[in-house]
Amino acid sequence: MTLPTDPAANLAALIRCPSVTPIEGGALSTLEKMLKPLGFSVERPVFSDDGTPDIENFYARRSGNGPHLMFAGHTDVVPVGDEASWTHPPFAAEIAKGEMFGRGAVDMKGGIACFIAAVARHLGSKGGLKGSVSLLITGDEEGPAINGTTKLLEWAAAKGEKWDASIVGEPTNPDALGDMIKIGRRGSLSGSITVNGRQGHAAYPQLADNPVRGLMTLVEALLHPVFDNGTKDFQPTNLEVTSIDVGNPATNVIPAKAMATFNIRFNDTWTAETIQAEIHNRLDKAAKRKKYRAGKTTPVDYELVWRDRPSHVFLTRDDRLIEALSGSVKAVIGRKPALSTSGGTSDARFIKDYCPVVEFGLVGKTMHMVDERVALAELETLTQIYQRFIEDWFEQGAS
Ligand SMILES: [Zn+2]
């Protein structure tokens, strides 16, 4: 029996499973085939919820005496887009000029392929592990993420699973392997503001109440002043107005309603609750301003609705975990990675409620793009980094 020590072979097998969310596509069965010969026990719970597709998830554990390391990731991939634009078919894992093409190559079947190869090599050379390793893999990261990591964590914890640390294999490196380890993430919140005015003739504004004036006043208060100047670990909190909608086709009519939506990425100066309170406060104050609404006696009539669940900000402070990983990067490629909290949210925001978590994977440049691909040399290097990390992290845990 051949063990899954070759990350390129592992990745090719995974890419050939067309697992576009919510379809399993054979990807989890492929993982199961790789992990069982390495002594992992495998479970594949299916989660459902109203209005979202059922999702198959995956939890594999190899038990041993000592600390418990969890590798987390997802086998689902985003759609291929215009298939005709791909230089090589998106589910064929073809190799050209030292690169493997395929949807999920970097986001993030590649990370999983390398981690499994690293475990297989470690077991091959050491014969065992000084603790437990598990793989917590969802098929619902790129989709609604309702039947994915959150439920999988709850399900595993309810069975008594406990972890000492987690590494998420998402593509964290902007340009080259070893650039960046993510040790936290900003929080994220979205909201919509609707301003109710009074419709009327553009020539008789005194008889109407133009909601665009009110909306301008409110939006201005969200954009200025800045929320903060950043912290030691985080960039400044930033709010983007993502849409302004009036939907008024007539040039001589003052509309009755105007809407804006925004998204805010906030740092550890705030919690989701305090940033919400700050935004409410700014809007309430601004509603009374007369700058664009001279002569109006009532404040801007508005409603604010928060969209979706907030993503909470977090920062991992487990020095042993961070040191083991950044030390492994240094040992393999000769330079220390930056410790960053930049970028979008990831499933690490759910894992952080269970154990310290860091993220490190491939280079993200081609993720979600046509011709997503990864250099074979990079797969080999990431495998070596993961292997070194497994060795060092357990070594320290055992001492
Ligand atoms: Zn991903």
Average pLDDT across the chain, whole number = 95
State mean pLDDT over 284-308. 95
Rounded to 10 degrees, what is the CA torsion of 67, 347, 329, 323?
-50
**What are residue 193's DSSP bridge partners?**
260, 304
State mean pLDDT over 332-358. 93
State mean pLDDT over 379-385. 98
Can you read off the two tokens belonging to residue 92? Answer: 């064929």
Instruction: Give the rounded percent of residues in the chain with a pLDDT score beyond 90.
Output: 93
| Cα 225 to averaged position of ligand 1 atoms, centre (Å) | 34
| Cα 190 to averaged position of ligand 1 atoms, centre (Å) | 21
State mean pLDDT over 182-188. 95
Tens digits of per-residue pLDDT, 37-46?
A: 999 999 999 9
Res. 165 pLDDT band, cuts 50 70 90: very high
Choosing from 6, 24, 140, 141, the catalytic residue is: 141
Rounded to 10 degrees, what is the CA torsion of 36, 112, 338, 229?
-110
| Cα 77 to averaged position of ligand 1 atoms, centre (Å) | 8
Dist. CA 148–CA 134, nearest whole Å: 16
Tens digits of per-residue pLDDT, 209-262?
A: 999 999 999 999 999 999 999 999 999 999 999 999 999 999 999 999 999 999
State mean pLDDT over 143-169. 95
Res. 96 pLDDT band, cuts 50 70 90: very high
The answer, yes or no, to whether residue 278 has pLDDT greater than 90, is yes
| Cα 141 to averaged position of ligand 1 atoms, centre (Å) | 7
Which positions ≥6 away from 16 have C-beta within 8 Å? 26, 91, 92, 93
Tens digits of per-residue pLDDT, 33-82?
A: 999 999 999 999 999 999 899 999 999 999 999 999 999 999 999 999 99
49 is catalytic: no
76 is catalytic: yes
pLDDT of 343 reads: 86
Can you read off the two tokens belonging to residue 380? Answer: 């080999």
| Cα 17 to averaged position of ligand 1 atoms, centre (Å) | 16
State mean pLDDT over 353-381. 97
| Cα 149 to averaged position of ligand 1 atoms, centre (Å) | 12
State mean pLDDT over 191-199. 97
Q: By C-alpha distance, which of 358, 14, 321 is closest to 168?
A: 358
pLDDT of 308 reads: 81
- Number of other residues whose CB lies within 10 A of the CB of residue 89: 14
The answer, yes or no, to whether residue 376 has pLDDT greater than 90, is yes
Question: What does each C-alpha distance from 179 to 31, 176, 320 come to in angstroms?
Answer: 28, 6, 19
State mean pLDDT over 348-369. 96
Res. 399 pLDDT band, cuts 50 70 90: very low
| Cα 109 to averaged position of ligand 1 atoms, centre (Å) | 9
State mean pLDDT over 96-108. 98
Choosing from 6, 56, 76, 209, the catalytic residue is: 76
Question: What does each C-alpha distance from 320 to 177, 271, 284, 324, 395 come to in angstroms?
Answer: 21, 26, 46, 6, 11
**What are residue 185's DSSP bridge partners?**
314
| Cα 106 to averaged position of ligand 1 atoms, centre (Å) | 8
